[in-house]
Amino acid sequence: MDVSAVLKDVKTSFYESIGDIVFGMEDGTVSIFGLVFGVAASATNSQTVLLAGATGAAAAAVSMMAGTYLDVETARGQARAELARERAEITQEPQKEAAEMDARLRVAGFTEQERVTIVGALRRMPDTWLLAESDLKQLGQVENRNPLVQSLWMFVADLFAAAVPVLPFAWLALGPARLTSVGITGLLLVFLGVGRAKVARTALLPTILETVGIASAAAAAGFFIGRLVTR
């Protein structure tokens, strides 16, 4: 086995899945943070919170993994169908497809002579024409996504992030565990806010505040529901 090739594939899949990883971590943190504080509001010991949190984290991670797999698999199927449709249209309706390509090139700023040359070359090379069409619609990128790899990254990211609010209850008494959970979860949320800002290319501070605010709202909702149920 070529270890360097495997490491390269893992690195490539990581960068391709970075958006899913950040999303999975945020989802896992927010949902389990709310669950943990809902249970901790009425629990009498850390073990009860640990059991609820660990069960919820595992179930949420599997759910997100399955959802990601099905989403990617569906997108790939749609891309394949679209590529097949484009291939058929290029073969059966070359005049119509040539006119559409010419219109796109005109909008892009190509001169008439340049458009005639490009469209003429594409008509002589239907495989290249199909490749150009797929690049314009990013169909090739979608078709090449690996649903298993991306779903596994989602599972790992979601499970790791969901475990953060839960782990303090495995080692500490209920009171200290609550405070520790809030502290380490807050730090994780700040890092996730930074990650979201980089992925989405948004302003750093508002994105961090938004991320922390959403998780805080989830925790507050869980806390008040826990108090309400135990009255």
Q: Which ranges of 93-173 would DSSP assign to H, the alpha helix? A: 94-107, 112-124, 126-136, 139-143, 147-166, 168-171
Q: Show contacts of 171-179: CB within 8 Å, 24+ apart.
A: 172/46, 173/46, 174/40, 174/43, 174/44, 174/45, 174/46, 174/49, 177/40, 177/46, 177/49, 178/37, 178/40
Q: What is the pLDDT of residues 99-135, one digit of tens each?
A: 877 787 787 788 888 888 877 887 888 777 777 766 6
Please report the pLDDT score of residue 176 as a whole number.
92
C-alpha distances (whole Å) from 71 to each of 16, 49, 139, 145, 146 are 15, 32, 15, 11, 11
- Please tell me the distance from the alpha carbon of residue 192 to that of residue 16, in angstroms, as a whole number: 17
**What pTM was computed for the model?**
0.71
How many C-alpha atoms does 211 have within 13 Å on its Cβ side? 27
The larger pLDDT score, comparing residue 128 to residue 202, is at 202
Cα gap 176→45, rounded to integer Å? 11
| 122-149: average pLDDT | 68
Compute CA distances 150 → 18, 20, 73, 141, whole Å: 9, 7, 10, 14
Rg (CA), the chain: 25
**pLDDT for 1-16, tens place per residue?**
455 654 565 566 666 6
Residue 83 has pLDDT above 90, yes or no: no
Query: Over 60: is that where the pLDDT of 231 sits?
Result: yes
pLDDT of residue 166: 93
Token pair of 224 as six digits: 């008040």
Q: Cα separation of 213 and 13, whole Å?
A: 30
